[in-house]
Amino acid sequence: KAGVTQTPRYLIKTRGQQVTLSCSPISGHRSVSWYQQTPGQGLQFLFEYFSETQRNKGNFPGRFSGRQFSNSRSEMNVSTLELGDSALYLCASSPRQGSGGGSYEQYFGPGTRLTVT
Amino acid sequence: GENVEQHPSTLSVQEGDSAVIKCTYSDSASNYFPWYKQELGKGPQLIIDIRSNVGEKKDQRIAVTLNKTAKHFSLHITETQPEDSAVYFCAARWDGGTSYGKLTFGQGTILTVHP
């Protein structure tokens, strides 16, 4: 099976711009989570989507948003970029079946390295 | 919310030695504990995980132990090899309520295995 794919792998944007990142989960996986990784804050949860609905959200401002499509692919958007948004954005795919579906593994993609100048 | 503390932040061992990384968590409701290995330029790779109804799990040279009472879990790597050098992250998750998909990570341990 192909793994989680993320595009683009690298991105350079200017402060104030917006950006859209894309994630394609492992075939058959219906849950996608997004994480931000920085040297200072480590790995932090952004949000999770399952069946095209956001099921959980981390402590990030409203500038960070996402969506999931019917084929389980997901996008995240960051508007009005700030210098502090420079980070590795990681997408994790899971075979989660639904609420109360038991513990499930999450598999990460290679990430998108976003640099804001 | 959940908080995960990971120690040590760096670990240097000789090839063939064992390496142990320890994590503690704060939320007693957490019931899933994965470990990830991250190499330079790559995303975290799931290497082993344990559920709260199990005390220990092994997979070849890697083992994880869980002490629910102490809210503590550890990663053990035996017979280390240079290719084990990477950053290792522990994480915790509660599978219930509105906590789906939310892994809380430790700060990471940089493991260096010297030939």
**For the ranges A97-101, B7-11, B42-46, B94-98, which has the lowest average pLDDT?**
A97-101
Extract the tokens encoding A88: 């590795």
Instruction: Write out chain B in H/E/C secondary structure.
Output: CCCEEEECCEEEEECCCCEEEEEEECCCCCCEEEEEEECCCCCCEEEEEEECCCCEEEECCEEEEEECCCCEEEEEECCCCHHHCEEEEEEEECCCCCCCCCCEECCCEEEEEEC
Q: Do B43 and A111 count as a contact with CB atoms less than 8 A apart?
A: yes
Count of A–B CB contacts within 8 Å?
Answer: 73
- The upper half-sphere exposure of residue B108, i.e. CA atoms within 13 Å in the direction of its Cβ, equals 17
**Cα–Cα distance for residue pair A109/B21, rounded to 1 Å:** 24
Tell me what pLDDT residue A78 has.
98
**Cα–Cα distance for residue pair A17/A7, rounded to 1 Å:** 18
- CB < 8 Å to B48, chain A: none
User: Cβ(A14)–Cβ(A117) under 8 Å?
Assistant: yes
Burial string for A21-52 (b: 16+ CB within 10 Å, else e) reads bebbbbeebbbbbbbbbeeeebbbbbbbbbee
Q: pLDDT tier at B45 (50, 70, 90 boundaries)?
A: very high
**pLDDT greater at residue A2 or residue B97:** A2
pLDDT digits (tens, 9 = 90+) for A54-105: 988 999 999 999 999 999 999 999 999 999 999 999 999 998 765 555 568 9
Dihedral pair phi/psi, residue A84, rounded to 5°: -70, -5
Checking if the pLDDT of A116 tops 90, the result is yes
Tell me what pLDDT residue A99 has.
55
pLDDT digits (tens, 9 = 90+) for B66-86: 999 999 999 999 999 999 999
Q: State the average pLDDT over residues A2-19.
A: 97
Checking if the pLDDT of A47 tops 80, the result is yes
Report chain B residues touching chain A, CB-CB < 8 A: 31-32, 34, 36, 41-46, 49, 51, 89, 91, 93, 95-96, 98-108
Tell me what pLDDT residue B95 has.
77
Extract the tokens encoding B61: 């040279």
DSSP 8-state code for residue A25: P
Tell me what pLDDT residue B71 has.
96
pLDDT digits (tens, 9 = 90+) for B97-108: 666 678 999 999
3-class state of residue A110 by DSSP: coil
**pLDDT greater at residue B51 or residue B114:** B114
DSSP H helical segments within chain A, as ranges? none
**pLDDT greater at residue A5 or residue A100:** A5
**Cα–Cα distance for residue pair B111/B47, rounded to 1 Å:** 15
